[in-house]
Amino acid sequence: MICRNRFRWFAAILLVCQLTGNLAAQQTISSNATGGGPWSDPATWHGKVVPRPTDDVVIQKHDVVAFDRMDEGKISCKKLQIDPKGVLLFKTGVGKVVCSIAEPIESFGAIKLDGTKSPKDFHELRLVGDTAEKRKIKLAKGAALLLYGGTNLPEGKCNVALSSPKLADQKEDILALVEGDGVIMIDWQRAFINDVKLMIQKIDNTGAKPNERLNLIENRFTGQGRIWLHLCDTPVISKNVLEYKGPTPIGEPAIFVTYSPLAEIKGNIVRGGFVQGISANYAEGQVLIGNTVEKCGIGITGGGTLPSTMIKQTLLRDCEVGIKLDSASGVIEDTVIERAMTGLHMSNSNLQLTHFQVKDLKPKGQVVQNDAGTLTLLNCNILPDQIKVAPAATTKINPVTCLQYLVVAVKDAPADSLVEVVTNPAPAADVADANVRNSPAPLTAEAKAHSMTPLPKTLNPLIVKAWSIDLKGKPMPAPEYTIKVFGPPAKEGAARPVLKMVTFRPQDNAFRSSPSETTPTLEISIKN
């Protein structure tokens, strides 16, 4: 009986010790509320206890805590909460600093990694939970996540990182999430982002609202890293690289921007198995310039009544569809699509293509699929039989019109001569010629042997209508034009004499690979 009582007493003591140990393992450690300090300094924390891997951490209001440890392969703390006006920053001038968080971060304050102070610094925030739910950063109202990598580092190197690494016993990559909804600051520049999706809503980046910022500049996204923006005004997404090398395609765009007016998406490189490289939808005045997209399902897609959309200086390579637009209007300029099944797929859209090229189309591919809408081509390497037009039931406007630059070289023309281009037969005297732009045109000495009408770089070259496609999908040949060379008037107020008159009909394949080269479309000699 005595032994049995002693055993029960010992078991009770052991249970109390286990419960006490578990409680100790789940403590919440708060900063000192007197200004903070270095993470590794006991004086920074209430109770003089530096956070352990099993502790939840709270950085209190007005405290600035400087993370100063190298917790690579370790856990810095379990959960992390940053109160309003609290700050977590990474200590500079000490080389490599890595903070590893095992469960979600919730921030009402600021997290700042600044690698601009020293090129020898390396700052990394790691999300290392064992599930996607544990790898999150929730940015609440007033929060900021600021990543500033060093400048002038060796090519491809970043000294600031936000990552969701693959741990030793982890079979599959885990995509982490950074999410925020209104009145926050996202400013990521020259940072390395691995397996992290940025999901942000309702940010005004115009400068009109304090404490709101949305700039993503010169970052490198790897793994499944990608960008998702909704209802953000004037976001800047510039010179980022998003590269996915995994075997399984990703069912989301690398860059997704919706209901975000005046978005600037410039100079980005997207590579890998994203369903879409760049998707820009439902907003006015979006500008996509200088982007390269390779090996995605669709290079660029957009839609939802997009007025004034501009796509310029773009290279789309090895995508199944180069560009797909629905209910859009705008301009696509200086764009090259290589090795696609479909170059451009448009529906319910009104587009102008200028210096647009489709090269090395896949077998049985289609250069342009126009399901509905109007398409105007200016100096494109596209022929009528390379465009498929769906029957139009309601419109009375031809679905495709091809325009061409007309550069006329005139030999032996006196100074102050003009070139006039008129459709043949000519329209009535009081009716503008709808097939010709910028006529009459002056002759300038662009080449030594002859004078020429203005080149495309002058912004006022001669432009004429060439072929078109009618409502039934039938190609219509180019009109014939009468070209007259007028000499200078004999005296002020006198009519200009006609020095030469010829007829001209544009060819289907009059594409100028370098629009402003001095190679003329047509040569005329006054003496012959």
pLDDT digits (tens, 9 = 90+) for 37-70: 999 999 999 999 999 999 999 999 999 999 999 9
CA distances from 115 to 193, 306, 369, 386 (A): 14, 39, 48, 52
Please tell me which residue, 429 or 176, carries the higher pLDDT value: 176
pTM of the model: 0.91
In this structure, the answer to whether residues 238 and 263 fall within a common structural domain is no
CB of 160 within 8 A of CB of 148? yes
The pLDDT value given to residue 30:
97
Domain final residue pick, 347, 371, 395: 371
The pLDDT value given to residue 282:
87
Q: How confident is the model at residue 396 (pLDDT cuts 50, 70, 90)?
A: confident
DSSP state of 175: -
Separation of alpha carbons 476 and 325, rounded Å: 25
The pLDDT value given to residue 304:
75
In this structure, the answer to whether residues 225 and 249 fall within a common structural domain is no
Q: Which of 117, 55, 119, 56 is nearest to 89 (CA)?
A: 117
Domain final residue pick, 243, 277, 310: 243
In this structure, the answer to whether residues 125 and 106 fall within a common structural domain is yes
| Span 69-91, average pLDDT | 97
The pLDDT value given to residue 295:
97
Residue 396 lies in a domain: no
Domain final residue pick, 190, 220, 243: 243
| Span 82-102, average pLDDT | 97
CB of 60 within 8 A of CB of 87? no
In this structure, the answer to whether residues 361 and 263 fall within a common structural domain is yes
The whole domain housing 223 covers: 26-243
Domains in the chain, number: 3
In this structure, the answer to whether residues 189 and 224 fall within a common structural domain is yes
Contacts of 127 (CB under 8 A, 6+ apart): 101, 105, 134, 135, 136, 137, 163, 164, 176, 196
Residue 18 lies in a domain: no
| pLDDT tens digits for range 285-318 | 889 999 999 999 999 998 875 567 899 999 999 9
Q: How confident is the model at residue 168 (pLDDT cuts 50, 70, 90)?
A: confident
In this structure, the answer to whether residues 440 and 307 fall within a common structural domain is no
CA distances from 290 to 123, 208, 257, 419, 427 (A): 30, 27, 17, 36, 41
Please tell me which residue, 430 or 308, carries the higher pLDDT value: 430
